[in-house]
Amino acid sequence: MLKTIPVPYCYTSRRIWYPHTLNLAHSQRSSLLTLPLRDEYAGIAPYYDAVTARFLFATRRRIAAFCQERGWRRVLDIGCGTGEQMLFFQDAGIRAFGVDSSPAMLAVARRRLGPSAPLARASFPFPFSDASFDAALLSLVAHETDTGSETLLREALRLAPHALILEWRKPERNRDYLLQPLVHCIERLAGQRHYRRFRTFAAQGWLRGLVHRADAHLIHDESRVLGVLTLAAVSKEPGEVNEGLLTLSATGQRHLNLNVGNTRIDRMERF
């Protein structure tokens, strides 16, 4: 039996958040109590933006513009962290709701956005009804989960027809490999457990392996920050035109998907 919990208007320093109703099943209510006992970001939260703000500024602006161009006006920011991306959403006229499992990160976000900001501490499955949002954002989150990044992506696509993913990009060119030591250094500094998750994410095919395991469709993919990051749009259904995007299957095959309208052309080849 579902329990309906009304959520009142939430005010930020710049916008008024729309009223929303959350439908919580028993299993979902229980999941809210299984958050990590230890906050892995407690030590770095006060300094996180100082380290990442300049590095991610143009990409965060691009994420907001991407949503704005496609008319995505309600966005769930999964793993919102310190709320920096939500400021870009607000400037673009997008109503964003942020969730994160770290109390320390959310504390920074509330100081930035105001005590009544649309923020919540939660783990997935998230306490929202199906298709509550136009899009869900996973910004440098997919490689951090313990329970399977494909589970998180499926949950994002339950809540919205589209997911926007910012992740480390699989190295493909010589220049990419030159920057890989920096990527691994960043992940190592986050801790042994964090680095182990990153290695698992890479071993399972990076972003395209994630999309394949979640049985989703990659409809947009662009390189960011000197090719170190990738910004991708993912959908439950094929896009109108998917321009021959190459995905890596879990069985070690290259999978060329060409989606035109409702027609899907697949070509598999060993390598």
What's the CA gap between 169 and 229, in Å, rounded? 5
What's the CA gap between 75 and 100, in Å, rounded? 14
Mean pLDDT of 240-255: 40
Mean pLDDT of 117-130: 88
**Residues 6 or more apart whose Cβ sits within 8 Å of residue 14:** 90, 91
Q: What is residue 260's predicted lDDT score, i.e. its pLDDT?
A: 36
- Contact by Cβ (8 Å): 108, 88: no
- Give the confidence band of 265 by pLDDT, cuts at 50, 70, 90: very low
In tens, the pLDDT along 190-229 reads: 888 889 999 999 999 999 999 999 999 999 999 999 999 9
User: What residue segments make up the domains of the chain, in order of their start?
Assistant: 3-237
Q: Please state which CATH class domain 3-237 belongs to.
A: alpha beta
Q: What is residue 29's predicted lDDT score, i.e. its pLDDT?
A: 38
Cα–Cα distance list, 117 to 19, 31, 62, 84 (Å): 13, 23, 23, 13
Task: Decide the pairing of beta strands 135-139 and 162-168.
Answer: parallel
Choice between 25 and 102, residue whose per-residue pLDDT is larger: 102
* Helix, strand or coil, per DSSP, at residue 127: coil
Using a pLDDT cut of 70, give the percent of the chain over it.
73
In tens, the pLDDT along 21-68 reads: 344 443 443 333 334 557 888 888 888 888 898 999 999 999 999 999
Candidate from 105-119, 203-217, 235-249 with smallest mean pLDDT:
235-249
**Residues 6 or more apart whose Cβ sits within 8 Å of residue 225:** 55, 56, 58, 59
